[in-house]
Amino acid sequence: MAPGTHGDHDRDRRDNGPVTSSAAPGPAGSAPTATGHPVPGLTSGSDPGSGITSGAGSGITSGSSPGSADHFPAPGSAPDPSTPGSASAPAALSPLLPSPVQELDDERFARRGLRLLLKRDDLIHPELIGNKWRKLAPNLEAAAGRTVLTFGGAYSNHLRATAAAGRLLGLPTIGVVRGHELAGRPLNPSLARCEADGMRLCFVDRATYRRKGEPETLAALLRAAGAEDAYVVPEGGSNTLAVRGCTALGEETGEQADVVALACGTGGTLAGLAAGLAPGRRALGIPVLKGGFLTAGIERLQEEAFGARRGTWWLDDRFHFGGYARTSPELHAFAEDFTDRHGVPVERLYVAKLLYALVALAGERAFPRGTTIAAVITGRPFPEPV
């Protein structure tokens, strides 16, 4: 039996950090609720009624980043071309493209007549890892030196990647973080990394966050952040530019694999991957959020990017382990065993669920004998093992 069951959309459960359930795989209970009190009122530069607190509790005032005045352009300004690392195009950061393909000798696949390849997108760049590079690069070019504002939860890989890109390219970045109550707490390691990379953090209540796509709410958030001219990247980085950027992932695999599989958050990478695959090749998505809502979202992304559904793809919703940032002792044990077998570090929130799913599907004989499967490794463990 695969872990996890269908259920309600679980984005609002993400912000208490990765949760390890001691129960058997399956639907986890409610995430621990946040403690503490919402920060009343708004800080200087905030928009009344927007539900946003700019940097409260983290030592950041509206319009600044700690210790960044001498190293980062002011919000809204273009990077200084003479500053090392302030290249106008992400290509100047020398990504490793196409990413390497590694074949593994794994008896769990071999005994079913299957080949397992790893598409090592985690090796594209030391800091802009995997699908984050593929989705961010076209958006960073489109930003053309403007402040980049984006959204995410307290443990968002996307926020970390955007912050790192801003530091490397000399672009100011703002992260709108879901969870107003987080503003008065010490920063977790993920948000601390964002701040260290120069990202200005703005915390919003969950109701406002859910409405962030509405024009009036977005305009209020931009005013509150003092960044009305910012280039806006959606949560997870999935927009038309990102989806088109991810077609290269499908094109790179060529005819090396019959099925290309990856873990899905917002679905933008899968939308582009499937569109870029050669005829007769298929894409498999393993959602890391529960709820079964992702199919419609991927179809919408493809329609916006290409005008219609593209490629052959499907989802298996059984392997979310209770939802985003949810894990279990079984999943941790699986990931450690995979690393011991193959020497590949396994990130827990996405990659472990993907690899677990593929092993389970192989055991279920879901793939015909002779099938070659490529698993896209989209990230590395965070914090990095020492």
294-302 long-range Cβ contacts below 8 angstroms, 24+ apart: 294/264, 294/267, 297/266, 297/267, 298/264, 298/267, 298/270, 298/271, 301/238, 301/239, 301/240, 301/243, 301/267, 301/268, 301/271, 302/243, 302/271, 302/274, 302/275
Residues 6+ apart with CB under 8 A from 280: 258
Q: Could you read off the pLDDT of 332-377 as tens digits, one per residue?
A: 999 999 999 999 999 999 999 999 999 999 999 999 999 999 999 9
Domain ranges of the chain: 52-56+131-237, 95-129+239-376
Cβ–Cβ < 8 Å for 172, 77: yes
Identical topology for domains 52-56+131-237 and 95-129+239-376: yes
Cβ–Cβ < 8 Å for 259, 368: no
User: How far is it, in rounded angstroms, from Cα 108 to Cα 25?
Assistant: 20
In terms of CATH architecture, what is 95-129+239-376?
A: 3-Layer(aba) Sandwich (3.40)
User: How far is it, in rounded angstroms, from Cα 244 to Cα 305?
Assistant: 7
Q: Could you read off the pLDDT of 139-193 as tens digits, one per residue?
A: 999 999 999 999 999 999 999 999 999 999 999 999 999 999 999 899 999 999 9
pLDDT at 244 over 90: yes
List the one residue out of 114, 115, 113, 133 whose CA is nearest residue 123: 133
**How confident is the model at residue 90, as a pLDDT?**
78
Averaged pLDDT score across all residues of the chain: 82
Lowest mean pLDDT among 36-40, 318-322, 340-344, 355-359: 36-40
Q: Could you read off the pLDDT of 110-154 as tens digits, one per residue?
A: 999 999 999 999 999 999 988 999 999 999 999 999 999 999 999
AA letter at 56: A
Read off the pTM.
0.79
pLDDT at 73 over 80: no
pLDDT at 35 over 70: no
Q: Could you read off the pLDDT of 224-243 as tens digits, one per residue?
A: 999 999 999 999 999 999 99
Q: Using alpha carbons only, what angle is made at residue 178 by residues 135 and 34, rounded to the nearest 5 degrees?
A: 135
Phi and psi at 215, nearest 5°, equal -55, -45
Domain 52-56+131-237 matching CATH 3.40.50.620: the answer reads no
pLDDT at 382 over 50: yes
User: How far is it, in rounded angstroms, from Cα 242 to Cα 63?
Assistant: 27
**How confident is the model at residue 3, as a pLDDT?**
52
Q: Could you read off the pLDDT of 77-88 as tens digits, one per residue?
A: 333 433 333 444
Largest pairwise CA distance in the chain: 63
